[in-house]
Structure 1
Amino acid sequence: MDAVSDDKGLVLVVEDDPAIADIERLYLVRAGFTVHLESDGRAGLEQVRRLRPAAVILDVGLPGLDGIEVCRAMREAGDWTPVLFVTARDDEVDRVLGIELGADDYVTKPFSPRELVARVKGIVRRSSGLIGDAVLRVEDVTLDPATRLVARGGIRVDLTATEFDLLAQLMARPGRVYARDELLSLVWGIADYSASRTVDVHVAQLRAKLGEGNPIRTVRGVGYSVVGREG
């Protein structure tokens, strides 16, 4: 079922609870998105491939194929459409697993519909490439905003939209230390400083993808920075 608005992009909502799905649809349409609803994971995965949405909202506890498996299948197929997980489990392990599989963000039930819309706007904005045009280089890491490609030592590194913009923010000013709450505001567009653990999880995943010896540094008690080797 599709609901049409003033076309800020199509959001695919995969949620098996009709009441929650309807609330998500209502608020997203009010925010200017077109919405397509599915109630199970397999149908949702088919619609991702058919509709090419701007973003996907995935309930983790879906019947048949759960949200984590849908996201895993998307990423293994090279589909980096932004994904927002909705989960009833407020368990850090679940959230970390979702991000490791390539989720861009998550909210925990019960959630504010306005917060959900804000998170969707954030991941859509991050995937649209609304940052500067100059290619960024720190040591052997290059980041091209125009093509949304990152490479290390000439080898491509696949990143989610959130991981890309987090790295771009850090690389734009090498040596500059960013506090966690500052990164939340600049990259996620939110001021919920209780969510600062989100930054740590994404940085850890970013480091894992870039590999050992990457230029991301932790400034204990403050936040993160990207620095090149001296000399």
Structure 2
Amino acid sequence: MRLLLVEDSVALADELQGNLSRHGYAVDWRTDGRDALYQAQIEPYDIIVLDLGLPGIPGLEVLAQWRREGLGTPVLVLTARGSWAERIEGLRAGADDYLTKPFHPDELLLRLQSLLRRAKGLPNQPTLKAAGLELDESRQVVQRGDEAFALTAAEFRLLRYFMLHPGQLLSKQQLAEHLYDGESERESNVLEVHVNHLRRKLGRDVIETRRGQGYCFTGVAR
């Protein structure tokens, strides 16, 4: 999942980037409100983590402008201030959730997971379930019936995206844009390699190839 992290604290951002990357997020990092305002408008992010105390343009103003311009990406706001007045102001500006500093990294991950599922109209359950598969996002293990399969980091990122979009036709370009950050190479043959790895583990027909169009996740193994 592609994530925009907007945080001006280098130490905190480094920590968050490492943790988020280990849990399957492709992270782009911006430190200034002006850069963040522009960045979210030119790239297809799945979710945004936004600090309020930013240089350039304050976080609440950035958020309000995103919403005025029709950006519907879920936004989780980070703040060092926990007043009810500020929370209400942020929710009115369009925040989807709030997290007050300091916070535990696992809480951030769970809140992001919840927001992503809500955005896709899925229930917020302990595991992600779709098309006969059950994905444990914390352990990066997928289960089908009584069989469990450990996933590499790349396989996990790809399968999670498929399971959040069951039955949908996903082009190679769309998958690349949502699975890799702005600094990564997005070669289609890399995607094909990881798709084939998933097929070997889960069954060749779990992911259908639509020639010239992309892939469709069905979860049906034959």
Query: What TM-score, normalized by structure 2, do the two folds share?
Result: 0.54
Match of 1:128 in 2: 120
1:1-231 pair list within 5 angstroms: 9-130=1-122
The runs of 5 or more residues in structure 1 that have no matched partner are: 1-8, 132-231
Distance in 2 separating the partners of 1:100 and 1:71: 10
Question: Matched residues in 1 for 2:12 and 2:103: separation?
Answer: 10
Question: Residue deviations 1:167-196, cap 9 Å, x none?
Answer: xxxxxxxxxxxxxxxxxxxxxxxxxxxxxx
- Indicate the RMSD between aligned Cα atoms, in angstroms: 1.0
Q: Quick one: which amino acid aligns to residue 106 of structure 2?
A: R
**Amino-acid identity (%):** 43
Return the offset for 1:130: 2.3
Offset at residue 124 of structure 1 (A): 1.2
Distance 1:26 1:118 in 2: 16
Contiguous gaps of at least 5 residues in structure 2: 124-222
Q: Which consecutive segments of 4 or more residues in structure 1 shift more than 3 A?
A: none
Cα distance in 2 between the residues matched to 1:13 and 1:92: 24
Paired residues in the alignment total 123
**Hey, what's the Cα distance between the residues in 2 that align with 1:25 and 1:112?**
14
Tell me, yes or no, if the aligned pair for 1:23 and 1:113 is still in contact at 8 Å: no
Question: C-alpha separation between the residues in 1 aligned to 2:122 and 2:83?
Answer: 32
